[in-house]
Amino acid sequence: MSGSLLRTLSSSQVSDWFGQKTSVNTIPIPSRPIVVDYLVVAGGGGGSSDAAGGGGAGGLRCTVTATGGGGSLESALSLSLSTNYTVTVGGGGAVNNNGNNSVFSTITSTAGGKGGTFNNNGSAGGSGGGGSWSNTATIYTGGAGTTNQGYAGGSGTASTSAVATTGGGGGAGAVGGSGTSSVGGAGGDGVATSITGTSVTYAGGGGGSGNAAAAQGAGGSGGGGRGQSTTLASVAGTANTGGGGGGAKAGGSGVGAAGGSGVVILRYPDILTITIGTGLTGSTPAPSGGFKVTTFTAGTGVVSFA
């Protein structure tokens, strides 16, 4: 095959990953591209402080079960053996900050947007942060999500509302809820994928807040944190889900919560061996169903396959 790399296998009986058998002792065969499925979730946005919206979830891109933003499934990557590919697990955003992007090879998932602070819109991101409460008649809206990664955040309320409430952050599977006259908007729900062999939901938005008892917005499924009320503190997004952090109630004691870190998960044929470079935290359980699955929970570095 012109331009193909060659591998030499030494065995009395070997098989390639297409299941073809041979009994020769040493044979050269063309090196075939390997197909790798992935889930890449960015870090969630932080909830912001003082009458602030919930953080948006990190953008979610996936080739198995479902992907973010209601888009079509992503396409698996065709990669080469003995070649380095970058992996970055995006950290969650601190309070008042967007999250951080996650990367695998050519795939980048966009960080979640932070919740809008007092009299501000939420920030755009993989999923957008929720809008703040306004002490005027202006309604502050949630930030936009990213196409095929996540949804927009919800809006806050204005001074005419009975309770000062804020919008929930968007999730990978749904828009964030808008604040009402009595309760902060709920974070948008995330997306479930079975790339690991078990269905797990990722990238839920952070809940909005409210200046009354029980006025906190719920976090979205998939790691979104609850918003603050006068009786309950805000909650951070769950680590390695890309969940957004909960927003803060109005006033000097209004404190938002950080977003959850992202995650990168790779699924590939079980005859392959992955090498994880310095700087990455990753684990590979025993193979199942003809595949290995490697989960990266922190860091940045390179990986290769052999």
- 8 Å CB contact between 87 and 302: yes
Q: By the 8 A CB rule, do 211 and 184 touch?
A: no
User: Does 306 have pLDDT greater than 70?
Assistant: yes
The Cα–Cα gap between 284 and 280 comes to: 13
Nearest to 58 by CA among 249, 304, 258, 194: 258
pLDDT of residue 31: 60
| Average pLDDT of span 100-120 | 98
- Encode pLDDT of 159-212 as tens digits: 999 999 999 999 999 999 999 999 999 999 999 999 999 999 999 999 999 999
User: Given the DSSP bridges, would you call strands 26-30 and 6-10 parallel, antiparallel or unpaired?
Assistant: antiparallel
| Mean local confidence (pLDDT), 62-71 | 97
Q: What's the pLDDT score for residue 27?
A: 43
Q: Is pLDDT at 247 greater than 90 in this prediction?
A: yes
Half-sphere exposure of 254 (CA within 13 A, CB side): 33
Q: Dihedrals φ, ψ of 176, to 5°?
A: -70, 150
CA 77/CA 34 separation, integer angstroms = 8
- pTM (two decimals): 0.90
CA–CA dist 228, 209 (Å, integer): 5
d(CA 28, CA 22): 12
pLDDT class of 6 with cuts at 50, 70, 90:
very low
Q: What is the mean pLDDT of residues 285-304?
A: 98
Q: Tokens 């050519």 identify what position?
A: 106
pLDDT band at 115 (very low <50, low <70, confident <90, very high): very high
Rg, the chain, Cα only: 22
Task: Tell me the three state secondary structure of residue 306.
Answer: coil
Looking at residue 207, its amino acid is G
273 exposed, middle or buried (CB, 10 Å; 0-12, 13-18, 19+)? exposed
CA-based nearest residue to 90, from 70, 112, 67: 112
* pLDDT bucket at 32, cuts 50 / 70 / 90: confident
CA distance 305 to 174: 36
